[in-house]
Amino acid sequence: MNKYLFPILAILIGVGYALFTKNKKSLGTKLLLSFSGAFLLASTLFDLLPEVYEHLNAKQPGLFIMCGILLQIILEFFSKGAEHGHVHIHAEDSKFPWLLFLSLCIHSFLEGFPIHEHNDMVYGVLIHKIPIAILITTFLQHSKYTKLQVIAFLTVFAIMTPFGTFISNNTIISESVITSINAVVIGIFLHISTTILFESSEGHKFNLSKLVAICLGILIAYFI
């Protein structure tokens, strides 16, 4: 049951934090984003990547992983990087951001596929979604969208990952197809997590607190 509840819990935590602090992007959020990027990357490498290479042959994993990276680049053309902490919404714009909404939903739906009872990817997704939910909620708060639009946005965004997990675990899809989709998701995770880590040091300056957050993310992912 955790595989369905944890992604929703992540959104609830992020929304609650954003409503409580009302900060656009605090130091705590930046550190959490760095931690989440390291944790997601480590979880992908430690858990999901070996699983994919075990079930696919020769160059297939690499091909699908590259497809995932390209897919995420395309999605970010519409989302402007919201998946890794860049949310660009103009305060004076009252038109619902359909491109942002749809790209985030596709991303969230796909990231639910690798989650099942026998791996720990749900924790990687949980940690990844909290800072993203914080930033999205904060920007939606400062927009001119109606409360109903904001609630609908966050509700659909919250259920898309469990929906992807449900489809992956409960429909008649061949194992090879599921594994291929998981390889695509690896590409998505690799692109997002490395982007977060590369951007975590502003001006490429050494930052001890962010280095500690990144190291903790890797260590915790290893020992889970």
Angle value at C-alpha 12, between 6 and 18, nearest 5 degrees: 135
The secondary structure element, H or E, covering residue 142 is: none
Q: Please tell me the distance from the alpha carbon of residue 35 to that of residue 213, in angstroms, as a whole number.
A: 5
**Which residues touch 4 (CB under 8 Å, ≥6 apart)?**
162, 165, 166
Q: What is the model's pLDDT at position 198?
A: 80
Q: Please tell me the distance from the alpha carbon of residue 158 to that of residue 7, in angstroms, as a whole number.
A: 7
Q: What is the model's pLDDT at position 192?
A: 92
Q: What is the model's pLDDT at position 210?
A: 86
Which of 181, 116, 139, 130 is CA-nearest to residue 23?
A: 139
pLDDT mean by block of 10 residues, the chain; 224 residues:
88 90 68 90 92 86 95 87 65 74 92 81 90 86 83 93 92 87 94 83 66 92 88
Q: Please tell me the distance from the alpha carbon of residue 107 to that of residue 188, in angstroms, as a whole number.
A: 8
Q: Please tell me the distance from the alpha carbon of residue 201 to that of residue 100, in angstroms, as a whole number.
A: 26
Q: What is the model's pLDDT at position 65?
A: 95
Q: What is the model's pLDDT at position 91?
A: 54
Strands (E), 63-201: none
Q: Which two tokens stand for residue 62?
A: 């690499």
pTM for this model (two decimals): 0.88
Q: What is the model's pLDDT at position 24?
A: 54
Domain with 32, as residue range(s), is 2-19+27-202+211-223
To the nearest 10 degrees (0 to 180), the angle between helices 208-223 and 121-141 is: 140
Which of 61, 103, 90 is CA-nearest to residue 187?
A: 61
The secondary structure element, H or E, covering residue 200 is: none
Q: Could you tell me what percentage of the chain is helix, strand and coil, using 3-state DSSP and rounding each to the nearest 5?
A: 80, 0, 20
Q: What is the model's pLDDT at position 25?
A: 56
- Residues 50, 118 contacting (CB under 8 angstroms): no
Q: Please tell me the distance from the alpha carbon of residue 87 to that of residue 136, in angstroms, as a whole number.
A: 6
pLDDT, tens only, 13-25: 999 988 888 755 5
Q: What is the model's pLDDT at position 121?
A: 87
Tell me how many domains the chain contains: 1
